[in-house]
Amino acid sequence: MLEELFNLVKGNAAESVINNPAVPNEQNDAVVAEATNTVASGLRNIVAGGGLQNLLSLFNGGNNTQSQSGNSLMSNPIVNMMVGHFAGKLMSKFNMGGSEANQVANNLIPNVLSNLVNKTNDPGNNSFSIEGLLNSITGGQVAQQQSSGGFNLHDLIGQFTGGSQNNAAGGLMDIVSKFTQGAQQQQQKNGGGGLMDLIQGFLKK
């Protein structure tokens, strides 16, 4: 899923990065890799911090997110957090000026997330799914919970976003806890440059 995300970022980077005179051509791939890392680690950090409900709400197809443009996603605090983080990286790692960094981040990150939401909600797209995304973030917790029986991810999403939260609240919180722990373990496993090392491996292909 990480490589698909990298390719999605690269596909959205033509205007904001690749054809942007503020970004030297020799830094294009590194900037795309940094943007991929921002999105992937940002989503994982949200789940690790107990924010699974916030993540599912962002990706919930019934929340009209599919029809939202990248710009309208800027009202979401998750997106704002990633934009700010990425802009900071552009300034610290690539010596970009503040206004240029903010422009690149504001153009790229919301568009990437908007496309990612659309693709995960598209039943005809096998490359992206909310199950695959959560599995990559939590070290396969979706598959583990499904194999243990009685777990349906769409029911979980419905309980968070559809209002049926009074059904098996204890079981729901137990599942959330497992997802949170899985994401925390992935943080530790891929701590430091681990995640970025994987992403940079895609540049060599």
Q: pLDDT tens, 81-92?
A: 999 999 999 999
Alpha helices by DSSP H, the chain: 2-12, 28-48, 52-59, 77-94, 98-120, 130-138, 141-147, 153-161, 169-189, 194-202
C-alpha–C-alpha distance, residues 27 and 4, integer Å: 21
Question: What SS3 state is found at 124?
Answer: coil
Question: What SS3 state is found at 167?
Answer: coil
Positive/negative CA dihedral, 152, 52, 2, 143: negative
CB atoms within 10 A of CB 148: 9
- What average pLDDT score do residues 168-179 get? 75
Q: For residue 65, what pLDDT is reported?
A: 40
Q: Provide the pLDDT confidence category of residue 150 given band limits of 50, 70 and 90.
A: low
The answer on pLDDT for 112 being more than 70 is: yes
Q: What is the mean pLDDT of the chain?
A: 83
C-alpha–C-alpha distance, residues 109 and 194, integer Å: 21
Q: Provide the pLDDT confidence category of residue 75 given band limits of 50, 70 and 90.
A: confident
- What average pLDDT score do residues 131-143 get? 87
- Please tell me the pTM assigned to this model: 0.85
Q: For residue 64, what pLDDT is reported?
A: 43
Q: For residue 94, what pLDDT is reported?
A: 95
Q: For residue 107, what pLDDT is reported?
A: 94
Q: For residue 123, what pLDDT is reported?
A: 84
